[in-house]
Amino acid sequence: MTAIVPQAPAPTAAGSASRAAVDTGLRPVWITVAGKEFADHVQSVRFYVLLVVVGFAALIPLYFAAERIRSLASEVSGAQAAFLALFVLGPDADLGPINFTVQAFVAIAAPLLGVAFAFDSVNGERHQGTLPRLLSQPIHRDDVINGKFAAGLAAITLGLVATLLVISGFGLLRLGITPALEEVVRLVAWLVVTVLYVALWLAFGTLLSVVIRRAATSALVGFGIWLFVAIPLIGPLLVGLLGNFLAGGATSAADYYGTVQWVQRLLPGQVYAEASAALLNPAVTTVNASEIYSAQYAQQMPQTLLSFDQSFLLILPHIVILVALTIGCFALAYARFMRQEVRA
């Protein structure tokens, strides 16, 4: 039996999705909600603005390093991992604490996408007064938050895939570099890890949207934390100073850098940076700072490049950490939303 909905001047997207789900009954309701939300995301100005931001985040380091990339392509034509240099190669000049590579810029821009697509996902509906009308339909409450999260993640993934294709097209057309099969596999794996990193920030933005009533306040909190955590000049610098203080009593360089790295891994950006470095650079044979700065490791460091399987095993703990953090943030948002009073 179809529920009777009061007449509204302008039906909302969420309300339309709920009515379509009730009428069809052929698929889970959260998929219908996600489909409608995804269409709204793709047609919104926000999506195109953020797509341009991510595009500039990828093209700026390519612009700065164009001469080095062309030189590399001519000198190492046919060498292994030459195509991956597009993502890890930076300008020749020292430009300060910021690493001007595609990998580093995506690491800064990716959290922005997650927060921007989720900070008003729930409290925006509540502010417009459409959330009570949506939940008055014969649908489960968790279908709403699940559909919104899935739609946001799908829209961001679409933007990241487009960015990756643009960079790859630049390498193919402008530089004449053809990727090997293992390089393609590494790029796909890096894309998956990047989407997982974005999902963490999307879950965090959803949590802010559920806990904080006003969308403007949740946006300020989300973007403030993004500035503190993702920008190398603020959060990582302070965490590095804390690591230096805690490692002051270290008796060796390996212990010192190991302690600093352990403190830096409190930030998810450090975990993602280490995983990206191992995937995009087969020459990275360890992500443990205590091993890198040990004399024994320096003497026994292999000269060959790691295979994808070896690199994946190297970053498997990082993937587990990102998955656990994402599930934790979304579980908190889910539990809080299920217990909230949503009546107008």
How do residues 205-248 score in pLDDT, each as one tens digit?
Answer: 999 999 998 888 888 998 888 887 777 666 666 766 666 666 66
Q: Global pTM?
A: 0.81
The pLDDT of residue 5 is 39
Angle at 312 between CA 239 and CA 304, to 5 degrees: 100
pLDDT band at 122 (very low <50, low <70, confident <90, very high): confident
184, 310 in Cβ contact below 8 A? no
- The stretch 137-160 carries a mean pLDDT of 88
**DSSP code per residue over 200-255:** HHHHHHHHHHHH-S-HHHHHHHHHHHHHHHHSTTSHHHHHHHHHHHHGGG-SSHHH
Minimal CA–CA distance to 311: which of 216, 143, 195, 187? 187
Tell me: pLDDT of 69 over 90: no
Tell me: pLDDT of 300 over 60: no
Which DSSP category does 284 fall into?
-
CA distance 300 to 85: 25
The pLDDT of residue 186 is 93
Tell me: pLDDT of 17 over 60: no
Q: In the numeric block, which tokens belong to residue 64?
A: 């700065």
How many helices (H) and strands (E) would you count in the chain? 17, 0
pLDDT band at 339 (very low <50, low <70, confident <90, very high): confident
Which DSSP category does 65 fall into?
T
Minimal CA–CA distance to 197: which of 103, 99, 269? 269
pLDDT band at 22 (very low <50, low <70, confident <90, very high): very low
163, 194 in Cβ contact below 8 A? no
The pLDDT of residue 142 is 85
Percent of the residues in the chain that have a pLDDT greater than 90, as a whole number: 19
Which DSSP category does 343 fall into?
-
